[in-house]
Every structure is written in structure tokens, then in C-alpha cells.
Chain A
């Protein structure tokens, strides 16, 4: 009994048990899911892609450390969110960008978008989407240069094929993405793309976005571990399909090319689901995803660019506080306060 009464016990507010899920664990799950698409990207475009993503991650982690050092705050990199941001940004870059692009992009994402607004959970815009848009504006040409996937079918593979980007870039064929075809076909209504290639990832594009199967596998993984809410990507994809039907001539032909081409799948699974920059209300989440789908299609159909997912996400990010405010839920059992009679004096109270 003596022993009992001298023991030091933790005293805290209820509850006294927890789920065991932590921020780091969530980030780790996201990193694993992102690796699916990274592996696919490296197989499709060669090892230089790995370097690009690694540089992004490194610059994000360094950026966050540096920021914390300057602000004399405890370092937050061990929550792994900087790694996630780095990976998402890297996977959103073309496979052969010059090495300084990921470095600058990583710093922009972390320093300007994430940390200046208070760090994890407080930033209003998606760091990776913002940095991608920033890079597009700064290095338009390099950011639009997409190479063809390694041609495994030809049988004459050389080591060089895997090291595209390290060696002379010009030797490799750059090519238009299927989205260019989608854009030019919008008038006629007849799209000439190979859907199977788009599904497998045998198309030009950014490192992470091309391989649909890898992204779908990652989505299943994240949903199974309850890291993301399946309603967000599914609503977004449904919205893309719906708005393809509405805004294109012979819309049926455009549903799959719009879904599989460009960053729609990747953005729906990894970027729209970003906790900090998506709504916290149930209804708001749906509005957010539908809005992003509408903007994506409008940009693709009428805008100056072939791709629209990053811009659409960014624009919707800005609306999140408004959406959440408008969709604030009422508590269980809420009843509307009885309407005051017209001219009633007590009404104001």
C-alpha cells in the first residue's frame, strides 16, 4: 500500500486511451503509397526520375530544418510531412527537368507555402501544387518538356535508356502528352489516344502521374488504412466524367482520356485529399471535389493549358475557408430556433 501511494501517476483529462494513430504514421502510409507511383515512374522514365524526386525531398527537408533553425523552433521534420510534400512535388515534375528545378521547387513549397503560414496543418494552399505552378511560371519550357517512356518493346534497350537526363537530353525524343490530343480534338469530338497505354503509363507525362494502375493501387492502400476519405477522389473523378460529358462534343469519348491523362488521378488521390487544404466538413468536402473537377475541365477545355489539375486545386484551396463556414454542421438534435414573429420586439434577443 505504501508503494502504491508514493507512485507518481499521470493525471489528465479523459479519454485515457488513444487510437495509436499518429501524424508520423499517417505520413508514413502516404510515403508508402507514393512509392508505388515513384517505382512506376522510375521503371517508365529511368533513374533520373528518382534523382529528381530525391532532390525535392532533400530540399523540402532542408528547407523545413532551416526555417525552424531561423525561427528557433523545435525541428518538425520528424513528422515526415516535409518528405510527403517533397515526394508529391517531385512526382509532379517532368522526368528530365534540370536539377535546380526540384531544388528551388522544394524550397518554395516548404518555406513560402507551408512554414510561413505556421507549418503543418495551417497552410491554406497545397504546397506541392503551388510550387508546381510557381515552377511552370518560372521555367515554362523545361516544365513542359515531356520525354517518351523507355521503349521496352523494341528489345534493343541500352543502359543509356535508363540514364536519360544524366546524359545528353537532346538525343531523346520529347513528345506531346495525350492531353494535347484531347485539347485539339475538343472541336471534332473524335479523340485519338491509346487508352491501354494511358492506363499502363506508357505515355509522356510527369513522373508520378502517368501510371494509372500504380495510382489506383496507392488509392486502395490509403483507403484501406483509412488515411484518406474515399469520397474525395471518387467525387472528383465522377465530376471529371460528368463535366467531360457536358463540356465536350461527343463527351463520351473524353471521359477516359480526361481521367487517365495528366494529373487527374494523382491529384485526386494525393493532393485533393491533403488534410490542411481540404474542407473539414462532410458537405464541404463534396463541394470542394466537385468544384475542383469543374475547374479542371474548364481549364482543359477553354484555358490556355493542356493540364489543369494543379491550378484547379490551388483555386479551390482558396475557397476552403468559405466552404467550411457555409457548411458548418448543426449538432445532433438541433432544431431551428422558432422564427420570431414579424415585428416582434423580443426577436432581437
Chain B
């Protein structure tokens, strides 16, 4: 039996759109706009000014606190200023604007040879590495866990529909991914690494097994293809049958979860000395003329990415990230950041938008919820302003995976209700 978690859904995968496109390096345009917030935590503080010369890899924003991350220029050229622009989340935040000279001169950190635990963690911090699956939590914070860690878990499930970057990485550069994994294991001081990959990526599993052959402690596991297999708690349960306590962190049961692109970023930072200023991104959706997996520099506006690949059909929604948990964009001005795992242009046909109607109490939402919640209750109670009662249905445990809203025949905005409930409970301190 394949390893998996309880409940969840089988959304249309749509990975076929981009899965067979090899990773393609995309050059930046005349200007890049580097957001100073590309991570969870305090915004980075700008450390360059207009007129400064920078190279690809020059630090332009310094981590402002422990939970924060350095931000780097992605091209060589001249800083033309710091402006406020809308980011993918729809917020106006400061961006460092750099005029690209097209030379792509690099500023690298010294490559690490046989580094110690501390050196790797320091490098992750210095290179501004964050969770590259989209969560963007600073990696060095995870690596310096206070609780004892039994094993490192590498998330190769890539369970969101459409996205294929981790798949391409495992297929094209498995040795580099594995060397990143080894570095991470060393940083955590663990002997065991569990790598979970969904069964729809058989060839990636084979390549990873091949690449990790002879390396003790790395175990590659096939997981059932089911969403949200890559949710931290679901993944840990699938691989170890251990449950992260409600409201707790993976480290509470002795695991740290990181994903494939993060491992690759660690390889880049430690072995090549390249800080985190570029990433892999799937550009897909039926409206995209040529769906692709790009190696793209941060700061490149989404509109330029779309122009490169072309639009073949009218789209009604643009999404940064996956279709289940990503953020919909009001336009394509935001630029690529460390967390941009995908850019999707979706047609009417794909999103199947229907106006919400009343809940018919079919309990489908509850039956698919991987956290075992009752989303219809939170939805109904929040609409009646019964926040105390809504709290009884544990909105705080919701991981916002979207399974409930996906299956709802009445198209209730269930995730939105859960978020609203969380917000109100926090604000009103109920």
C-alpha cells in the first residue's frame, strides 16, 4: 500500500501541460524590481541607494531580525531607486529597482568545502534561503530547532495541480538536489532523511533513487497521489504515521520538513556560493501558449514572463502559486520573488466559477478535510457573527488547503470563512 494521509481530494492534475518542458533559463528585462519582502517575517532593510553599482548576488536588503531574510540583486547594473509597488499578495511594499546592464556579472560567496553544521546554517542565513515551495519561512530558523530532531523530511510530493518545477529538478539535476539534502541533514545533525514523492512522478523517483544510491540514510518513498499530500502534517503522517499535535509544529514530533527546491537552493548557496536570487517557476494554464518551467531571476515582472511564453487564449484569472493555495492577481505587475513557485493564467473553462448558493448540508466539505474539521459550520456561524460558536469548530487548525471549497457543490467560499474566523478570533482574542 502506498503511503498517504486520511481524506483529501484528487483534483485534476493538469501537470501534463508543463511536465515535459525542460528547465529553461529566462534572462531578465531592462529593469528588475526586487521586493524587499520575499519571506515570512520582518521586511529586509534596503542597504543600497540610487546610483549604486550591483552585481547578480549583491545584497540589496539586509535581514531585519532573526526571522527575516537577506535579499539580493538578481542582475548586474545600477540601482535606479527604491519604489513602492504592488507585490503578488496585493500589498504596496518597497522594491529595489535595478537597471540591468545585461552582463550578468556575479558576486558569489566562497564555496564551502566540507562545511560544519554551523557553517551550513550560517550560509543558509547569509544566502537568504527561505522555504522555496511557496511558504517562504526562513530556512535557518527551521535548521536551528530548539527541540531534538529525529529526521529530516524532504517534500517532493508537489501535490498542487499544474506545478512541475520540483519534478523537473529531480529529473534534470537529481545529484544537486541530493547534495543539498545531504547538507541539510548535516546542518540538522540527523542520520535519517525521508524523501516523499507522489506516485505520479515515477521517473523522478527512479532518478532520485539512483542519485542517492550508496548514500546511507536517505530513503526515497513513493506516496499516493492525493492532495494535499505535501502539507507538512499530512506528509509527516504519510511517512511516519506520527501526528503533529493540533496547533503544534513538525519539530514537536521531531521532524523538519523542507522541499526539493529548498534543498537545491542550499546546494547553490553552499557549493556554488550563489545566494538566493533566482528560482524555478512553472508558468502554465490553458491560456499560456507555451507552458514552461523557467529558471527565472527574482524581480522580473510577471508580465515579462507572460510575454516570453505568449498568451493563446483569453484568461480570467492569474494566479501566483498553485491553483489550490495560490494568490489571485489583479494584474501582472508584481514581480517574481523567492516564493513564486508558479504563475498560472487560467481560462473560464478551468476555473469553473459559479456563483455561491446556499449550503445544502451535503457534508462533502467535512468528508474531505485533511484536518478533520467541519467547514460548513464555521461558514454558517461566521455569517451569523457567532464567532465564539465558530471557534468550537477549530478554524485555527485549518491549513487553508482548499479541499473543502474545491468539492463544495454550492461553491461556498469555505476557505475564506476559515480565514475570517481566524482573523476575528485573533483580533477579538476570543
Contact = CB atoms under 8 A, between A and B. Distances in A.
A148 B371 CA distance: 53
Contact of B393 (A5, A9, A328): A328
Interface stretch (A114-122, A243-251, A301-309): A114-122
Contacts of B246: 330-335
Contacts of B377: 280
Interface stretch (A10-18, A90-98, A253-261, A262-270): A10-18
A2 to B, nearest CB: 9
B357 A9 contact: no
Contacts of B147: none
Nearest to A81: B360
B362 A26 contact: yes
Nearest to B374: A280
A100 interface: no
Contacts of A138: none
Given A280-B361, A282-B367, A335-B245, A14 B306 contact: no
A10 B12 CA distance: 21
B353 A10 contact: yes
Contact of A122 (B248, B326, B357, B358): B358
A21 interface: yes
A17 B351 contact: yes
Given A13-B416, A17-B406, A4 B319 contact: no
Interface string A290-301: 000000000000
B358 A119 contact: yes
A348 interface: no
B200 interface: no
A25 interface: yes
A281 interface: yes
B12 A17 contact: yes
A5 B360 contact: no
Contacts of A329: 366, 372-374
A176 B130 CA distance: 76
B354 interface: yes
Contact of B323 (A15, A19, A22): A15
A14 B326 contact: yes
Interface residues of B, number: 74
Interface string B389-430: 000111001001010011111110101100100000000000
Contacts of A332: 6, 233, 237, 243, 246, 370-372, 397
A75 interface: no
B325 interface: yes
Contact of B328 (A9, A122, A279): A9
A93 to B, nearest CB: 25
Is chain A's interface secondary structure helix, strand, loop, or mixed overall? loop
A9 B329 contact: yes
Contacts of B333: 5
Interface in A1-56: 1, 4-5, 7, 9-23, 25-26
A76 to B, nearest CB: 8
A19 B365 CA distance: 12
B407 to A, nearest CB: 5
Contact of A25 (B245, B357, B409): B409
A79 interface: yes
Contacts of A122: 358
A10 B316 CA distance: 6
Given A4-B311, A14-B325, A15-B324, A120 B318 contact: no
Contact of B352 (A18, A26, A334): A18
A10 B351 contact: yes
Nearest to A280: B363
Interface in B1-15: 6, 9, 11-12
Candidate in A15, A17, A333 with the most chain B CB atoms within 10 angstroms: A15
A144 interface: no
Contact of A328 (B311, B374, B406): B374
A152 interface: no
A332 B357 CA distance: 29
B328 A16 contact: yes
A9 B331 contact: yes
B376 interface: yes
A11 B328 contact: yes
Contacts of A7: 315, 331
Contacts of A220: none
Given A5-B303, A333-B243, A17 B323 contact: yes
A276 interface: yes
A331 B371 contact: yes
B358 A120 contact: yes
Interface of B: 6, 9, 11-12, 90, 161, 233, 237, 243-246, 248, 303-304, 306-307, 311, 315-319, 323-333, 344, 346, 350-354, 357-363, 366-367, 370-374, 376-377, 392-394, 397, 400, 402, 405-411, 413, 415-416, 419
22 contacts: A4-B311, A4-B332, A10-B351, A11-B329, A12-B328, A15-B402, A16-B319, A16-B346, A17-B324, A19-B406, A26-B409, A81-B360, A119-B358, A275-B361, A282-B366, A329-B366, A330-B246, A330-B372, A331-B373, A332-B246, A334-B245, A335-B245
- A-B pairs, 4 with minimum CB distance: A15-B402, A331-B397, A13-B416, A121-B360
